[in-house]
Copies of this chain bind each other. A is one copy, B any other.
Amino acid sequence: MIRPGTPVEALDTPSLIIDLDRVEANLRSGAEIAAASGVALRPHTKTHKSPYFAQRQLAHGAAGITVAKVTEAEVMADAGLTDIFIANTLFGQAKAERAAALAARVRLAVGVDHIEQARALSGAMAGAARPLDVMIEVDTGSRRGGISPADAPALAQEVHALPGLSVRGIYTYEGYTYEAADREELAAVQRAAQDVMVRLGDGLRELLGIDPVVSVGSTPGLLSGAGYRKGITEIRPGTYIFLDAAQAALAGGVEACAAHVLATVVSRPGPDRAVLDTGSKSLTSDTRSSGICRTAGYGLLPDFGLTIARVSEEHGVIEGEGVERLRIGEKVRVLPNHICPVVNLFDEVIGVRGGVVELVLPVAARGRLK
């Protein structure tokens, strides 16, 4: 049991520490950017996986939340969240039935980029009192999921005609923003994607007679300073709440990061090598070696200007100049490259304020894979 009032440096390691004041500052800043562009903010909760932080986002004016999985949506609904968008395509009877059950008790939308997914959802909605909202996923350059802009209107029309379904709008994931070389290119790719989405939204208005939600998402997009053009109605950033080594620069520096892994120097096997008790089992092996969010190695020690050169499951190895400053037994802060999957590796996070523990929060939606 970790008691409130415990100083951070007394905590066992590795632990995932969240600075609650910094969270509030980041949420405020994100909300201000959204308000300045007149877009609704629907944060992606995959970054924190916790109803507590989802509620903090609502307190800062978020219109609803985003999740990646129907099981994550269930966790959030059980905790009292009432407006949830599953920004992912789901397939199969089991998941369609869970989504249909959930739609009976919260305001729900589900992503679709193929008519077969929609047919499964439509089948599960048979007999439902009100239709399930569907958002059509559009590929604006991430080359992941999403239908091509050219094919999106026809799919939207087909889905809208299915019993039990109603198209709410369109969404895209701006994954390519991470690969922009600088702020200028970042703003340019954002504008290009927004133009595509707004045109598609205008088309849907005529085609379906709806006032469509036009939703874009990514934290680099939020922090780029480019803003959102008229016709974009909703944004879904995730990482902005905590930030990480990759995104710190866009937010003004490592001081903006609200999350770090507290680790111990458990071994000093040679003068030029130190080993931390945090490896891929707590930092992941995610790298970010190119683009505006590039960062070296597997985690940054902001208090030493050092990076973790190699990870195995339980070990983070630091080598070379500067290592001599790391004493065995010392506890150090590590900023992960990519905070979202790191949160997924911890059963709980430790919320601190002014360097002392305020609360311990279960990562309630951790490991929800389905």
Contacts and interface: CB of A to CB of B under 8 A. Distances in A.
A341 B280 contact: yes
Q: How large is the interface on A (under 10, 10 to 19, 20 to 34, 35 or more residues)?
A: 35 or more
B92 A12 contact: yes
B146 A269 contact: yes
A2 B286 CA distance: 32
How many identical subunits does the complex contain? 2
Nearest to A327: B116
Interface string A216-250: 00000000000000000000000000000000000
A308 to B, nearest CB: 12
Contacts of A328: 91, 114, 116-117
A333 interface: no
A312 B175 CA distance: 10
A139 B266 contact: no
A367 B270 CA distance: 29
Given A68-B314, A329-B116, A341-B280, A89 B14 contact: no
B370 A346 contact: no
A90 interface: yes
Given A68-B314, A317-B144, A329-B116, A284 B282 contact: no
A275 B144 contact: yes
A128 to B, nearest CB: 21
- Chain A interface, >50% SS class: loop
A315 B144 contact: yes
Nearest to A315: B144
A290 interface: no
Contact of A286 (B92, B113, B285): B285
Contacts of A264: 91-92
Nearest to A91: B266
Among A120, A310, A314, the most chain B Cβ lie within 10 Å of the Cβ of: A314
Contacts of A313: 46, 68, 340-341, 344
30 contacts: A68-B313, A69-B314, A88-B314, A89-B275, A90-B277, A91-B264, A91-B265, A114-B267, A114-B328, A116-B328, A116-B329, A117-B267, A139-B269, A143-B317, A143-B319, A144-B310, A145-B269, A145-B275, A146-B267, A147-B269, A280-B284, A281-B341, A281-B344, A282-B369, A284-B285, A285-B285, A313-B340, A345-B369, A346-B369, A347-B367
Interface of A: 12-14, 46, 68-69, 88-92, 94-95, 113-114, 116-117, 120, 139, 143-148, 175, 264-270, 273, 275, 277, 280-282, 284-287, 310, 312-315, 317, 319, 328-329, 340-341, 344-347, 367, 369-370
